[in-house]
Amino acid sequence: MIKKLIFGLLASLLLIPAYANDSTKVALKTFSPDAQHPVLYQLIGQILNTYHYRKLAIDDKLSSTLFDNYLENLDPARVYFLKQDIDKMEAYRYQLDDDLMKGNVDKAFEMYNLYQTRLYDRIQYTFDLLNQEFDFNKNDSFELDREKAPWVKSQKEYDALWMRKTKSEALQLKADGKDFKTYSEILRKRYYNLLKQLAKTKNEDVFSYYANSLTEIADPHTNYFSPRAAEDFATSMSLSLEGIGATLTTENEYTKIREVVKGGPADKSKKIFANDKIAAVGQGKDGEMVSILDWRLDDVVGLIRGKKGSIVRLEVISTDAVNNKSKIIEIVRDKIVLEDQGAKSSVKIVERDGKRTKVGVIVLPTFYLDVAALQRGDKNYKSTTRDVKKLINELKKDTISALVIDLRNNGGGSLQEAVELTGLFIKKGPVVAVKDHFGITKAEEDEDETITWDGPMTVLVNRFSASASEIFAAAVQDYERGLVIGETTYGKGTVQNLLDLNSFVNIDGKKLGQVKLTIAKFYRISGGSTQFKGVVPDIEFPSIYSDKEFGEAASEFALPYDEIPAQSFYKLNLTKTNLTVLKEKHDQRMLNSVGYKFLNEDIQSMKEMKDKKYITLNESKYKTELEIGENKKKDREAQKAKLKETNPEDSNLILDESIQILLDNL
Rg (CA), the chain: 27
Q: Among this protein's residues, is 632 annotated catalytic?
A: no
Residues 6 or more apart in contact with residue 262 via CB below 8 angstroms? 340, 341, 365, 366, 409, 410
Distance CA 60, CA 178 (A): 52
Distance CA 217, CA 518 (A): 12
Nearest by Cα to 249 from 218, 217, 223, 285 = 223
Distance CA 498, CA 4 (A): 46
Distance CA 222, CA 515 (A): 7
CA distance to 159, 597, 598, 599, 645, per residue, from 593 (Å): 52, 6, 9, 10, 15
DSSP 607-629: HHHHH--EEE--HHHHHHHHHHH
Residue 346 forms beta bridges with which residues?
361
Q: Active site residue: 414, 467, 593, 658, which one?
A: 467
Distance CA 52, CA 72 (A): 23
Residue 56 near residue 49 (C-beta atoms within 8 A): yes
Q: Active site residue: 492, 533, 593, 658, which one?
A: 492
Phi and psi at 332, nearest 5°, equal -90, 120
Distance CA 527, CA 433 (A): 8
3-state secondary structure of 443: strand
Q: Among this protein's residues, is 478 annotated catalytic?
A: yes
Distance CA 593, CA 599 (A): 10
CA atoms within 13 A on the CB side of 310: 14
Q: Among this protein's residues, is 467 annotated catalytic?
A: yes
Q: Active site residue: 205, 446, 478, 538, which one?
A: 478
3-state secondary structure of 216: helix
Please calculate the CA angle 655-656-658 and round it to the nearest 5 degrees: 65
Catalytically active residues, by annotation? 467, 478, 492
